Structure 1
């Protein structure tokens, strides 16, 4: 079952169960997917939908930190509830050891010798790690590996 169909089915079940927060979040997600499809005039596949979800999660995490800094825990809790719903559609995250193994493999495959080869390593890893790892964390691990 494609991710888009699963999201649509979940929206219907949220309506039936009268889960307001979940329904609102799924509607936001469907709107973001539709907007991307209209903008690019293309039908999104699961990888592209995962990228949309990942972007939405990042936006919400940024909002959470802003709201907490402004002492608005009520709004931070609302954003966290949305993150929880959206996270359910992301692929299973990789463990730290799995990420490090993939980085070591990518460094060996690309023949990276220093920091100037960081782009090659990131390019090789991005398709494998998209939606399954925090790319900022991956970038820091690659820098540490290449600096050593």
Structure 2
């Protein structure tokens, strides 16, 4: 079952169970996927679906950070719940050790030796970890490895 089918089934289940918050999150994700499909003019590939899901996750994490800084516990809790729901649709996240191994391997492949070549390494790492790691985490590991 692909991600979009899972979203559809989970949406029906949330309606049956009267889970308003969960239903709201699923609907917003489905709307984002639909908007992307309209923008591209065709059905979305798995890669494009993951890109949209990652964008939605990133927006919620940024909002969570802002709400926590503003001491808005109510909104912070809502964002944590939405992040938890979204995480069910994303692939399993890589551990730091697994990610470090991919970064080291890519640095060897690209023969990068300084921070000036960070863009080249990031460009090669990100497609390998699509949907499985946060870009900021990858950036930190690449910086650490190249310094």
Cα deviation digits, residues 47-93 of structure 1 (max 9, x gap): 21111111111111111222222222111111111111011111001
Task: Point out where structure 2 has 5 or more consecutive residues left out of the alignment.
Answer: none
Provide the residue aligned with 2:139 in structure 1. Answer: 139
Distance 1:139 1:70 in 2: 27
Where do residues 52-131 of structure 1 align in structure 2 (5 Å cutoff)?
52-131=52-131
How far, CA to CA, are the matches of 2:37 and 2:27 in structure 1?
Answer: 15
Contact 1:103/1:142, CA 8 A, preserved across alignment: yes
Residue 91 of structure 1: SS of its match in structure 2?
coil
- Greater shift, 57-66 or 83-92, is seen at 57-66
SS at match of 2:112: coil
Name 1:48's counterpart in structure 2: 48
Normalising by structure 2, we get a TM-score of 0.94
What's the counterpart of residue 26 of structure 2? 26
How many angstroms apart in 1 are the aligned matches of 2:98 and 2:142?
A: 14
Partner in structure 2 of residue 4 of structure 1:
4
Task: Give 5+ residue unaligned stretches, structure 1.
Answer: none
Which is worse superposed, 3-12 or 61-70?
Answer: 61-70
Scaled by the length of structure 1, what TM-score is found?
0.93
Size of the aligned set, in residue pairs, is 147
Verify the 8 A CA contact 1:67 1:76 in the aligned structure 2.
Answer: yes
